Structure 1
Amino acid sequence: MTTQTVLPVEGDQLKSISVHRGEPDWLTESRIQALQLAGELNLPKLEKTRLDRWDLSSFGSLREARKEIAQQIPDNVASIVELKENSNLLVQHNSDAVFTRLSPELSAQGVIFTDLETAAREHGDLVKGYLNTVVKPDENQLTALHSALWSGGVFLYVPKNVVIDTPLQSIFLLDDSNVTFAPHVLIVAEANSKVAYVDNYISTHAGGTIIHNGAAEVIVKPGAKVLFASVHDLNEHTTDLSYRRAIVENDGSIEWIVGEMNDGDSMSETLSILKGNGSSSDAKVIAVGSGTQKLNYTTKAIHYGKSSTSHMITRAVMRENATGIINGITKIEKGATKADGQQTEKVLMLSPKARGDANPILLIDEDDVSAGHAASVGQVNPEQIYYLMSRGITRAEAERLIIYGFLAPVVSDIPLEPVQQLLQGLVERKLGQ
């Protein structure tokens, strides 16, 4: 049975807006087809979570025209950005990209780093070949709506053999509940290239509730290496629905670093499709839930390539009345011989009313493979607290030390120091320290 949904825009209106923005015909047609699918498809089915019980009515309104990039960083973003002469940065404010900078050195090497709307107009053939190929519109109602409504976004293209030593950064700021907030990130790393990409999602009180319906697609060509770090710090008025996916070809690698630090209800999927032989994926996810948050986070790897490897570590802390469903899925397809998939999910609950579930899932269709999982859910160990208090430490400080120790194996393994520091600060805020 199809979920009944009132679409946030009519087909004729969407077509008119797309044309008015100057989008190419192929993109206008793609949006219209996706909107039609949104009216036909169901919401995604999540493990132990009923999305149809969430308030998914506040998608905001599409802006009629695309603003020109103003090259001005909003004040509440400037404080978290260290803007150097050679920095590479893109800032999206609500629906619009308002600042973008790519160093002349990278531009001379053929690197493209701009908002996705501009890329669709100026690099249409390149964008068209990859857009909506990893997160597909026909999967469910959310992916269809995203494909129809996305705006702003990021397009990062790294040519063959280009190695970028400094991370490229994007910041997505939401402070208006009346506009659609659905950025789309598209990264293409050609053969033997290397790049690190970092983004931050932040929101302030926008005068009402709003949904972030976002997607990221990463194309990792043979021998390429991509690090994708994402920190979500959206407020309690924002519902966060995010898909992050990568297709990894022969000997390519994707490294995910994800900090789920939202204050509102959140759902995300972080998926690596290990298509090529020798491809690899490493995912590190930390999450902190508080208040009455409902959270559902899935980390997943699908092995098609021979000798492909995946490692997943998720650690979550649940406070007060928060509910967290933490899913780890390793799927090894027939023919993926010598594949190795390992996963660990751990949930720490700080309150008797908090709930956390860790669901490790192994789906193995090949014999000659290695796979394993570890999972645990539990309260703070009272013996550990007693031991620390016996050394003169207060109970609050003892709990804080135990929590930091619980998250440390993930945070300390993050190779980017600024992301480490940001996550540490957000963990302290979420824990009320």
Structure 2
Amino acid sequence: MSVDVQLRFDSEAITEYSKANQEPAWFLEKRLAGLQAAGELQLPALEKTKIDKWNTTEFDPFQTAAKAAAASELSELVKAQIDVDSVKNLLVQKNASSVFEAVSEELKSKGVIFTSFAKALVEHSDLVQKYVGTVVAFDEHKLTALHTAVVNGGVFIYVPKNVEVEVPLQAVFEVAGDHALLSPHVLIVAEANSKVIYVDTFVSGEGTSMVANSIVEVYVGAGASVQVASVRSLSTDVHDYSFRRATVDRDGKMEWILGEMNDGNTVANNTTILKGTGSSAETKSISVGTGSQRQNLTSQVQHIGTHSESDMVSKAVMTGEAVSILNGITKIEKGAEKANGVQAENILMLSEKSRGDANPILLIDEDDVKAGHAASVGRFSEESLYYLMSRGITRQNAERLIILGFLDPVVAEIPVEEVRNRLRQALERKLG
């Protein structure tokens, strides 16, 4: 049986969408190759998580939405993520449409490109072609192939050599409607000695059988610094798959700050490849599992360059019957002398029926290195609860304070105040 018959969309629909958006021929070829591969490849094999019954293909990929002439016209969901009265350097996407774009003249004057992925394909085709799909290949597994076939938006950021962008660049992605798909491709290129901060949030409105399948590719040049912060607050009606990957050149620095606040089933893989001498990576992530939610969250660093350093911290709070798998993988390749990789996974259990697995993994093929890991899975400290309650705080509020204190070191790192506040609100909501 052909892939066209298996899915709710076919090569004709993909070709029509591509041509309607005036995409270059090379990208349409990539889409069709992805569609073909999607019919042949398997789903990714995940540690202790089976996703064969999850929704990966039941969606209509090209549902459109009306543009907003001003930030005040955006949905209430989106406006909660931004400062409506001071919009600067913001992109908003709903389903398959880029609905709002605001880019400052100051940013443009520095030669920085901050635009939708769809517009970048048309206006910066050669630059996009040079980088897209070379960190996350379209044929890695079925989900990356599907993403490539039905990419329906995203963000393109290009920062020239020696340029520092002081103000965070922000994007908001919204999915809503029955069988809606959100499949953005975020491509960030930071040339040598440049600096940029990118923040995005994912939200969902009403709808059924919705899917998010996103890819982030980051290129960190020699001596460059890139920080990516992402908060995902999608509903139980959304199956969310995200694959983020960065490659870092000599003395470059990559930092990830991730808040996985979804209510639905989630797969996230976050990988940094430290290619250059003296390159470094930091990954900080938090997640909260509720209800019957299933999460499989992987943070990984591959050390190739000498004197490279990595630090990964993952924290999760589990309630109800939720299940969360936290995988931390530090891989030090042969020849990566003087590399130093550390990681920690910590899970706080709030109910007897929830389950959390912390899996720290060290794969070391070089002798002259440092590496370490720590993992913990446990319940509240009764001593800490007693200490707070002895000062007149109720048990419920005492538990809340402990949880927020457990997660706040990551929350506080979010570089945009509105997003940071929204993450704290999401925490309050999920923790009841």
Per the alignment, residue 181 of structure 2 pairs with 180
Q: Identify if the C-alpha distance between structure 1 residues 22 and 415 changes in structure 2 by more than 3 Å, giving closer, same or farther.
A: closer
Q: Secondary structure at the match of 1:53?
A: coil
Deviations 1:403-426 (A, max 9, x none): 112113323345554443332221
* Unaligned 5+ runs, structure 1: none
* Equivalent position of 2:11 in the other structure: 11
CA distance in 1, matches of 2:180, 2:316: 31
Residue 312 of structure 2 is matched in structure 1 by 312
One-letter code aligned to 2:60: G
Change (3 A) 1:197 1:349: same
Q: CA deviation at 1:67?
A: 7.8
292-301 or 375-384: bigger deviation: 375-384
1:42-57 map, 5 Å: 42-57=42-57
Tell me the alpha carbon deviations over residues 312-358 of structure 1, each in whole angstroms, 9 at most, x when there is no partner. 00100001111000110000011111111000000001000010000
User: Which ranges of structure 2 fall in alignment gaps of 5 or more residues?
Assistant: none
In 1, the alpha carbon distance for the partners of 2:385 and 2:219 equals: 46
Q: Aligned-residue CA RMSD in angstroms? A: 1.9
CA contact (8 A) 1:71 1:100 kept: no
| CA gap 1:429/1:61 in 2 versus in 1, 3 angstroms | same
Residue of structure 1 in register with 2:233 after alignment:
233
Q: Which residue of 2 aligns with 1:377?
A: 377
User: Equivalents in 1 of 2:418, 2:84: separation in Å?
Assistant: 13
CA contact (8 A) 1:182 1:214 kept: yes
- Cα distance in structure 2, aligned partners of 1:199 and 1:279: 24
- Are the aligned partners of 1:59 and 1:181 in contact in 2 as well (CA < 8 Å)? no
* Structure 2 counterpart of 1:264: 264
Once the two structures are superposed, the pairs formed by residues 86-101 of structure 1 within 5 Å of their partners are 87-101=88-102
1:8 Cα deviation (Å)?
3.3
> Partner residue of 1:139?
140
Q: Which residue of 2 aligns with 1:332?
A: 332
- Check if 1:38 corresponds to 2:46: no
Query: How far does the alpha carbon of each residue in 1:139-193 deviate from its partner, in whole angstroms, 9 at most, with x for none?
Result: 0000000011011210011111111111010000112234331011111111111
In the alignment, does 2:199 pair up with 1:202?
no
CA distance in 1 between partners of 2:419 and 2:22 (Å): 36
- How many percent of aligned residue pairs carry the same amino acid? 51
Q: Deviations along 1:205-230, whole A, 9 cap, x unmatched?
A: 12x11110111111111111001000
Q: Is the 8 A contact 1:60 1:181 kept in 2?
A: no
Quote the Cα distance in structure 2 between the aligned partners of 1:290 and 1:5. Answer: 36
Residue 388 (structure 1) aligns with = 388
Once the two structures are TM-superposed, the CA of residue 118 in structure 1 deviates from its matched residue by: 0.8
Partner of 2:422: 422
- Give the SS at the match of 2:353: coil
Q: Is the 8 A contact 2:326 2:359 kept in 1?
A: yes
Q: 1:183 to 1:414 in 2, by over 3 A?
A: closer
Tell me, in whole angstroms, the C-alpha distance in 1 between the residues paired with 2:368 and 2:396: 49
1:128 matched to 2:134: no
**One-letter code of the match for 2:199?**
V
Distance 1:416 1:370, change over 3 A: farther
**Under a length normalisation based on structure 2, what TM-score does the superposition of the two structures give?**
0.95
8 Å contact kept, 2:65–2:94: no
Q: What is the match of residue 62 of structure 2?
A: 62
Q: Is the 8 A contact 2:313 2:343 kept in 1?
A: yes
Q: Aligned partners of 2:339 and 2:69: how far apart in 1?
A: 47
* Worse overlay, 86-95 or 380-389: 380-389
SS at match of 2:181: coil
Which secondary structure state, in structure 1, belongs to the residue aligned with residue 423 of structure 2?
A: helix
Distance 1:71 1:220, change over 3 A: farther
Q: Is the 8 Å Cα contact of residues 43 and 142 (structure 1) preserved in structure 2?
A: yes
Within the alignment, does 1:102 sit opposite 2:96 as a pair?
no
Matched to 1:227, the amino acid is: Q
Amino acid at match of 1:132: G
Local SS of the residue matching 1:359: strand
Moved more, 231-240 or 411-420: 411-420
When residues 52 and 308 of structure 1 are mapped into structure 2, their CA distance, relative to the original with a 3 A threshold, is: same
Residue 88 of structure 1 contacts residue 103 of structure 1 at CA under 8 Å; is this kept in 2? yes
> How many residues are treated as equivalent by the alignment?
427
